[in-house]
Chain A
Amino acid sequence: MRLEHLRRARILRPDADDLRGPGSRPVAVSAETSSRAAVARLATAALVLSLAMTSVSVDPASSADSAWLPLSAERDVVPSDPLEKRGQEVFDQRCAACHGEIPRDVFGPRFLPPMPGTQALQARYRGELPAALEARTDLTPEFIAAVVRDGLRSMPFFRPTELSDDDLEALAAYLTRNRNGGGPN
């Protein structure tokens, strides 16, 4: 029983070993530290994808009406691949409120810094990697799945009723679109 809980704790926090509290040296988290469960999930998703081709979910948990943004995102560049295009929408609807671009010129009174996800990655990587997720070229689908479903530090995890497995698959396709050969865009 005890072992079961430890295993679960491991799944909940893929970086359980590399965060040693305040003052610890930031350690880049790679796909190798992600949980086996998430890898298995992606393998299943890949299988489903291979059978279903690039079909887009008919009942997405993430939708334009349920976006976690006050205004619709403005996009100059939209991927031509339908899965990546859907992934960009999921990113806007579910990720951009924390992982979007930090506004340069803040309007009005200040409370807490906007874009907590981008701020956190800026503090963590200190320029060694881009703070904006969309500019990353090192992310793997497995790692993205692990972070979304297991959470990471102060980022909570997300349920399938908020972000479905189809949404996750599309998001992973979008955030890894530049992985092979592309630089930050």
Chain B
Amino acid sequence: MATPPGVSPADFEAALTQFADVVGPQWVFTDEDTMDTYRDAYSPLRGEPDDKYASAAVAPTSVEEVQAIVRIANRYSIPLYTISTGRNLAYGGSAPVYSGSVVLDLKRMNRILEVDEDLAYALVEPGVSYFDLYRYLRERGIRLWIDCADPGWGSLIGNALERGAGRTALPYRDHFGAHCGMEVVLANGDVVRTGMGALPNAGANWQAFPYGAGPLADGLFAQSNFGIVTKMGFWLMPEPEASMTGRIRARRHDDVIPLVRTLAHLQYTGIVNCLFSLNSPVFTGPMDERKAALLDRPNGGSAAEWDDYARSLGRHFWETELRFYGPLNVMQAQWAHVKERLSAIDGIELEDGDVIRFPLTDDQIRRLGDPGAFGIPSLSVFSSQQGSTGHLDASPMVPHSGMALLEAHKVFLREYRDAGIPLTLGFAMSYHTRAFIMFHGISLTLDPEENARARALYARLIQVAGEHGWGIYRAHAAFMDELMATYSYNDHALMRLNETLKDALDPNGILSAGRYGIWPRHLRRARA
């Protein structure tokens, strides 16, 4: 049995015995086989000495048990690492950032505590998955939609705390943005409720008004290690009457500038509230000699040069699809307005898409080709993994600007070209209100040398994205220090603030050491 670094075997044994008194011995895991299931299934360090591992795991079922566990951990200085459903694949899975930590596995805290159909919210625990909440609503005939991350087994709370996103309408698809109210166990075992939840009799107002009074604490508990979130409220979308799509294709390199400006302004005025994913078949297509050479031209190639290249491939430069949600006549008016506004772009193709009416029947749901577009969880996203043994996701944020998108495509393509690794995905998705996530996926294999090349590219992408101000919003656990080092304004003032908070809230450093570069004082290294 591994022992956490810096903890004596006697202290560890005493802590494990006390954990078992709290949760029952069957929910404390230490055997090597089980601990292997707390590794990162998509680890970029698979089979290598630095691969992250846990020394033990403990799985409570209640807030009181979590409180008791952190008190024991404080007594013996045991490093804990919290997971919700442990399915944060491509970002570290269920493995701790600090090897040897004890994983606090909250999967068994899977209660859906409240759903209010009129106020359209749900209050859930960390072990509740998208599948769980979807089934709960469907089985009770509650006409509210969830917005799910693509892998439906993920935790609503875990994904929101990672600032993940889904694919229905705004504001729901920005999962942290659509939460309202948290309950948090602090490192000293205290329980805090944020926003209106601090009122002893808040009732439904906890999930109705996010701010309460005074500083808004919620942000401190996302992508951090200042507390353990044990409840979160989420706003849900009332089921729309229907959904319809419109498809857009633009021919030229520079068309993206008016296209993004127009779609963004339509989003900011509420006419477009759906996800649009801008893909360039020219940029994301396979690398060839001409494309590789174009990237070395001044400014990564002129519009005319790229247009000539696109013509040689017989491809249009940009494509996207808008999926509206709402009453049919309203959506038809929205799409008509979008078409009118975009028709100013010469040669633009605007095509009416399909109409889907709700509610869907069970038979339709079982046969859906894109469940996530309707807030229905699935695991279909793993079809994109054929032939790989995992992947790293890089996710730089690029503002809603066609110019920025053009530059970002060329900058990132150059990095992939130089690394000799094909770009997969690479399209810009409007998950958030005013910026695109420009997703890249880097495949992993069982070959340590190939994985070393993948890691080198990933580290380089973090660096390059940061230098251009397109900082990556969420990193794999093995790269959190590198990521946070790019957020360095005023000599790392943000990290100094984080460390001040860490020292005040968690002086023994028991909670999720190293998460997003925040280390307890005794593990902190000098910054370069």
Q: Is B135 an interface residue (CB 8 A)?
A: yes
| Beta-carbon contacts under 8 Å, A139-185 to B | 149-151, 153-162
Stretch at the interface among B169-177, B307-315, B358-366: B358-366
Q: Is B226 an interface residue (CB 8 A)?
A: no
**Contact: A21 with B36, CB < 8 Å?**
no
Q: Is B262 an interface residue (CB 8 A)?
A: no
A60 and B251 CA atoms in complex are apart in Å by 56
Task: Name the B residues within 8 Å of A71 (CB-CB).
Answer: 135, 138, 362, 365-366
A114 and B450 CA atoms in complex are apart in Å by 29
Q: Is B419 an interface residue (CB 8 A)?
A: no
| Beta-carbon contacts under 8 Å, A57-86 to B | 59, 61, 65-72
**Contact A70-B371, Cβ < 8 Å, known A97-B379, A159-B34:** yes
Distance to closest chain A CB from B484 (angstroms):
26
A164 and B273 CA atoms in complex are apart in Å by 42
A39 and B177 CA atoms in complex are apart in Å by 46
Distance to closest chain B CB from A25 (angstroms):
13
**Contact: B386 with A120, CB < 8 Å?**
yes
Task: Name the B residues within 8 Å of A109 (CB-CB).
Answer: 245, 323, 353-354, 356, 369-370, 373
Task: Name the A residues within 8 Å of B129 (CB-CB).
Answer: 66, 68
Task: Name the B residues within 8 Å of A127 (CB-CB).
Answer: none
A100 and B42 CA atoms in complex are apart in Å by 23
**Contact: B36 with A12, CB < 8 Å?**
yes
A67 and B373 CA atoms in complex are apart in Å by 20
Task: Name the B residues within 8 Å of A51 (CB-CB).
Answer: none
Q: Is B131 an interface residue (CB 8 A)?
A: yes
Interface size class of B (residues with CB under 8 A): 35 or more
Interface size class of A (residues with CB under 8 A): 35 or more
- CB < 8 Å: which of A5, A66, A150 contacts B51? A5
| Beta-carbon contacts under 8 Å, A1-27 to B | 1-2, 5-6, 8-9, 11-13, 16, 19, 21-22
**Contact: B367 with A107, CB < 8 Å?**
yes
Across the interface, name the chain A residue whose C-beta is closest to B377. Answer: A70
| Beta-carbon contacts under 8 Å, A35-51 to B | 37-38, 40-41
A184 and B305 CA atoms in complex are apart in Å by 58
**Contact: A70 with B33, CB < 8 Å?**
no
Distance to closest chain B CB from A9 (angstroms):
3
Stretch at the interface among B103-111, B290-298, B327-335: B103-111
Q: Which 5 A-B pairs have the closest CB atoms?
A: A9-B47, A156-B41, A154-B385, A111-B370, A110-B369
Interface residues of chain A, those whose CB is within 8 Å of chain B, are: 1-2, 5-6, 8-9, 11-13, 16, 19, 21-22, 37-38, 40-41, 59, 61, 65-72, 97-98, 103, 105-117, 119-120, 123, 149-151, 153-162
